[in-house]
Amino acid sequence: MSEKTQKTQKQSWFKGVNSEFKKIIWTDKKTVAKQTGAVVFVSVALGVIIAIVDFAAQYGVDLLVR
């Protein structure tokens, strides 16, 4: 492939990427904050649930081993 063909392909690719970026609808800060809060809350809640299950399983194993 010639150097000119490669350069044309790269320019075409970047034009395509640029046109796709213009189609993106960015969310507002309020929505991002709400979604971030939801993710943090669910992550903490699942962490607590997993810790409780782990503690209960460890307690059960300790009872069986004694």
Domain that holds residue 11: 3-65
pLDDT at 9: 80
- Tell me the pLDDT tens digit for each residue of 22-62: 999 989 999 999 999 999 999 999 999 999 999 999 999 99
Q: Which residues contact 35 (CB under 8 A, 6 or more apart)?
A: 27
- What does the pLDDT read at residue 2? 65
pTM: 0.61
- List, for residues 5-24, the tens digit of each pLDDT value: 777 887 888 889 999 999 99
Tokens coding 46? 């699942």
Cβ contacts of 27 within 8 Å, gap of 6 or more: 35
Number of domains in the chain: 1
What is the pLDDT, as a whole number, of residue 1?
A: 60
